[in-house]
Structure 1
Amino acid sequence: MISDHGLHVHRYGPARPVQVLAVHGLTGHGARWRHMAAALPEVSVAAPDLIGHGHSSWAAPWSIDANVAALAKLLEGTADGPVPVVAHSFGSAIALHLAAARPDLVDALVLLDPAIGLDGEWMAEIAAAMLASPDYPDAAQARAEKENGAWSDVDPALLDVELDEHLISLPGGRFGWRISVPAMMSYWSELARPVVLPDTTATTVVRATRTSPPYVGADLITALQARLGANFDLLDFDCNHMVDQAFPTEAAALVRKQLTRR
């Protein structure tokens, strides 16, 4: 793991120029990609903690644009050319903006249950709920929230890894995720920004069929189909929102497909 351009970057695979960029979702961290990377042992993967997450800087601004700038600097310094970007949820919004702003850095997109262009009232409700209850009295409650939510179909052993990596003790004896709550408030608003589309970048969207309510709406699919045509693929996975955790090997196969098509 290295610190680069203000981002803490988890590196997997051989010590060579970055071949794949992996971007986690809101409230997550880059080490979540270790499971997918294990199925790509010959591939050099960079998986940064986004701004306000994990061990990266928690300093403002907290925006999609700030993360795009940081990821662009990371790729400029570590990759030899454009690379496939695999991203989950909010990370997919950042990946789409990165591809639109810097197509010279992005060879393809693999978007796992992407969250972008979402309803503003819905995002306000989620932000208010997090602000009212940002932490937990004990680790058991933190685990139960995930088990009964988006992580419901993830291998319990992977959830153990998540808690070991990402859950921390807070002052007063409570527990919380290794995130900046003020940054999360800003990011929920960012998810209500209009959809941004790449011009020609080959894009695969995985829709998690058990996510309720769904993040991937018909408007996003229609827009990508109209913009990209044959460069767009839509796949349905029978899982909840945490696609990269529920199906790490299948996610790796989608990334490998983009690496081998060139």
Structure 2
Amino acid sequence: MLALHGVTGHGLRFRPLTEALPHRRWLGVDLRGHGRSPWVPPWNLEQHVADALGVLDDLGLDRVDVVGHSFGGAIAVHLARAAPERVRRLVLLDPALGLDAQDMLETAEETREDESFPDRESARVAKAEGWAAVPAELVEAEVEAHLEQRDGAWRWRYSRASIVAAWGEMARPAAVPPAGLRTVIVPATKADFVTEAWLADCRAVLGDELTVVPIDAGHMLYLEQPAEAAAIVERFLDA
């Protein structure tokens, strides 16, 4: 299971799924510009795909199941299109692709502003407010795994420049998984990333190979509803 996180994230965010499905081998990578991976550009979809394939090559893995959340879902789709022989099945958790260009411009401009905290507790409180529906223990896990002291303040462990670039990548026209690839899409009903038009395009290409299972949650659906998300993934993989 190659797990690809979204912007501002890191591989350890998938821990609730890995703990719920421990009999599967999980590879939770940090995307370029995030966590403990290199932060140097480029930060486009093609480079993220190349990085993911490099991980598989280094580990000698010819074919894997791929799980992608948010921007990681966009990377997962482009990975499947670029190297379909390397992807066995595709799990897309509220994927973010084909988003409105004007919205992405405004979001990117907002992202340019510095975000830092005087201490760990301030960062934890801010994250808890932003993740109101996420259990407190997962907020604490996020602080432990992803917060560091840098440049005289406490900051999340990612490059803000890479995040600005990612919003632009998500404004690209929405790609769909290649024909013949078993895919499950899990939209978050309390978010607006997955459109009906894109789902229709996916159905037209994938037909019976596509399963769509919404979750009544916000965009961080696999943290808000980890047991339900894990059950969907397990049913799909066991079908």
Which of the five TM-score ranges fits, normalised by the shorter chain?
A: over 0.9
Amino acid at match of 2:200: T
CA apart distance, 1:178 = 0.2
Gaps of 5+ in 1: 1-19
Q: Which residue does 1:247 correspond to in 2?
A: 225
Q: Which residue does 1:237 correspond to in 2?
A: 215
Instruction: Provide the rounded CA distance (Å) in 2 between the counterparts of 1:204 and 1:146.
Output: 29
Instruction: Provide the rounded CA distance (Å) in 2 between the counterparts of 1:141 and 1:115.
Output: 29
Q: Which residue does 1:217 correspond to in 2?
A: 195
Q: 1:175 aligned to 2:154?
A: yes
CA apart distance, 1:237 = 0.8
Of 43, 55, 61, the match for 2:24 = 43
Which one has a larger percent strand, Structure 1 or Structure 2? 1
Of 154, 157, 165, the match for 2:134 = 154
Aligned positions of 1:183-194 closer than 5 A: 183-194=162-173
| Shift in alpha-carbon separation, 1:248–1:78, aligned structure 2, 3 A | farther
* TM-score normalised to structure 1 length: 0.85
Which one has a larger percent helix, Structure 1 or Structure 2? 2
CA RMSD of aligned residues (A): 1.6
Q: Which residue does 1:66 correspond to in 2?
A: 47
DSSP 3-state at the match of 1:197: coil
Identity within the alignment, %: 39
Q: Which residue does 2:38 correspond to in 1?
A: 57
CA apart distance, 1:80 = 4.2
Instruction: Provide the rounded CA distance (Å) in 2 between the counterparts of 1:144 and 1:225.
Output: 41
Instruction: Provide the rounded CA distance (Å) in 2 between the counterparts of 1:77 and 1:241.
Output: 32
Q: Which residue does 1:203 correspond to in 2?
A: 183
| Cα contact 2:45–2:169 (8 A) shared by 1 | yes
Instruction: Provide the rounded CA distance (Å) in 2 between the counterparts of 1:171 and 1:77.
Output: 33
Instruction: Provide the rounded CA distance (Å) in 1 between the counterparts of 2:119 and 2:177.
Output: 43
Instruction: Provide the rounded CA distance (Å) in 1 between the counterparts of 2:118 and 2:170.
Output: 29
* TM-score normalised to structure 2 length: 0.93
Aligned positions of 1:122-161 closer than 5 A: 122-149=103-130, 151-161=131-141
DSSP 3-state at the match of 1:204: strand
Q: 1:26 aligned to 2:7?
A: yes
| Cα contact 2:213–2:232 (8 A) shared by 1 | no
Deviates more, 1:132-141 or 1:23-32: 132-141
Amino acid at match of 1:239: A
Moved over 4 A (4+): none
Instruction: Provide the rounded CA distance (Å) in 1 between the counterparts of 2:107 and 2:120.
Output: 21
Gaps of 5+ in 2: none
